Amino acid sequence: MHDDVVAIKMSDKNPREFSGDLLVCVVEEDIPQLASEVPGAIHRALQQVWSTGDFKGSKEQTLLFYPGMIATENDTEVRAKRVLLVGLGKQDEAINGRREQLRLAGGTIAKQAGIVKAKEVLVILPKDYLLEAADISQCLTEGLLLGNYRFEFHKTPKDEPDKPTRVERFFLHDGGLAGGAVRKGLQRGKALAEAACAARDMANQPGNHWTPAAFADYAKKLGKKSSLKCKVLDKAAMQKLCMGGILGVNQGSALPPQLVILEYKTDKKNPTVLLVGKGLTFDSGGISLKPPAGMEDMKYDMCGGAAVITAMQALAETEVSGVNVVALIPATENLSGSAALKPGDVIRHFGGKTSEIINTDAEGRLILADALAYGIATYAPEAVIDLATLTGAVIIGLGHHYTGLLANNDQLATRLIDAGAQAGEPMWRLPLGPEYRKQIDSRVADIKNAGSDRSAGTITAACYLQEFVGETPWAHLDIAGTAWDFTEKTYIPKGPSGTGVRTLVDCLSQWEPLKPAGKK
């Protein structure tokens, strides 16, 4: 959607020759040292601000100055228009903490660059940072590109002299680190950040623009320009397959539903992982109508689908090996047209299970159930991961800081928690079990779509999904609290965060076949 993709490249120039808008040095707290490639005048300036105590490299601390302020008479070694020092803070003890410090620094750089309207920015990588070179450049790249994100698609351009702008070109200088590794990390960080930004774009588009058909079109285009294979099941195909969940939720909408399928194939010998993402392009609640205050945010109810589709894009771009991945995105609106599903109705899901509708606002589980059952029957995956903005209850429990994780397999749960920690997208596991499952027993059908009270709402929603995965190792990520309004960070804007994309790609890039349950 952003035609003007932000460029990020390795710099082949000496920083002394960079004559762009902003030259940036990343500085560790209490270690006033810079890479030897940094112009001498900046070394001297740093010593001075250090000795005065004005700049210590603490987290998110910045110092902006101009070459004329530091140059001696014959000094021509800083040609950039401005210089920015950015603090990293003290190196975190944990490796994931150090990764996050670099993303935060990247976000700070993008923000400060925006304020001074810099278009071309050169960042020199920090010296002696305890991470592999590729990791350093990946995390910094993620922070720069995610922090530089804007969504102004529907704004008429006008002259606003004080409004921060977007950087057009970033350059990374390796600062003496191994160039090849830095380049590799940059490419990976770029693919991940661009995928997450694409997911943000989809979410930012209102429901009248980002429709089920828009999901299908995006996937078809991906199928044409990448190694991904795309198929889309339309309403007629869903009717043949008896997908009563997606069809039922769709009944109140004038727009037809779509079941988007993307396949990433490596080797037949590799295991297959199935991803499923909730693609509810607007959730009014249906007949069980939501209250109007804040209902506009329900255009974001497709963030699970967006994360899954763009994660596939990044998997293809980074040429992940060792795993086959299939993504399913059931997409529809949940509206209250005259044919809409009603409380008390009974539907039949793909595979035959029946469900009594108690609340038409508990629609996410209905569309996911069909997709999970269909995906497992069709692709026999070794593991399934679904992402969905499924319950308001997860916000009550975990707020906007952790994604809720529920799983029937400890190994899969641990992998996701680890991948989330690595990506700066933390997750907290909640229990499942028969005592919760009982809450969705129905007197008239096999199961009902909501419990009789609101207790354990996130868990009973997951119990519903669990009915459709059988014994297949499965994990469900409830991203209702993190898909938008996620913890404020320099590289996470207000609005949709793109959460899940980087975690999924990290998890799948390191995929090893799961060990049979019981064996450690």
- Residues known to be catalytic: 290, 365
| C-alpha–C-alpha distance, residues 237 and 233, integer Å | 6
| C-alpha–C-alpha distance, residues 337 and 287, integer Å | 8
**Among ligand BES, Zn ion, none, what binds residue 478 when CB lies within 5 to 8 Å by partner kind?**
none
**Residue 161: how many CB atoms within 10 A of its CB?**
5
Residues of this chain that interact with ligand BES (CB under 6 A) are: 283, 301, 359, 361-364, 389-393, 450, 457, 480
Q: Please state, in angstroms and as integers, the Cα–Cα distance from residue 359 to each residue in 242, 285, 453, following that order.
A: 21, 8, 12
| C-alpha–C-alpha distance, residues 214 and 220, integer Å | 10
The distance of closest approach from Cβ of residue 286 to Zn ion in the complex, given in angstroms and rounded to an integer, is 7
Could you give the strand order of the β-sheet that contains 447-448, starting from the edge strand earlier in sequence? 346-348, 354-356, 447-448
**Among Zn ion, ligand BES, none, what binds residue 108 when CB lies within 5 to 8 Å by partner kind?**
none
Nearer to ligand BES, 101 or 482 (CB): 482
| Cα-Cα-Cα-Cα dihedral sign, residues 248, 252, 254, 259 | negative
**Among Zn ion, ligand BES, none, what binds residue 45 when CB lies within 5 to 8 Å by partner kind?**
none
Nearer to ligand BES, 127 or 299 (CB): 299
Nearer to ligand BES, 318 or 389 (CB): 389
The distance of closest approach from Cβ of residue 34 to Zn ion in the complex, given in angstroms and rounded to an integer, is 50
Residues of this chain that interact with Zn ion (CB under 5 A) are: 280, 283, 301, 361, 363-364
| C-alpha–C-alpha distance, residues 329 and 276, integer Å | 6
Nearer to ligand BES, 459 or 505 (CB): 459
**Residue 178: how many CB atoms within 10 A of its CB?**
12
The HSE-up count of residue 175 (CA atoms within 13 Å, CB side) is: 23
Residue owning tokens 């907290």:
428
Residue owning tokens 């000795």:
51
Q: Which residue in 33, 29, 21, 7 sits closest to 175, CA to CA?
A: 33
The distance of closest approach from Cβ of residue 283 to Zn ion in the complex, given in angstroms and rounded to an integer, is 4
Query: What are the tokens at 362?
Result: 């508990």
The distance of closest approach from Cβ of residue 222 to ligand BES in the complex, given in angstroms and rounded to an integer, is 25
Nearer to ligand BES, 23 or 463 (CB): 463
Phi first, then psi, for residue 78 (nearest 5°) are: -110, 105
**Among Zn ion, ligand BES, none, what binds residue 359 when CB lies within 5 to 8 Å by partner kind?**
ligand BES
The distance of closest approach from Cβ of residue 384 to ligand BES in the complex, given in angstroms and rounded to an integer, is 20
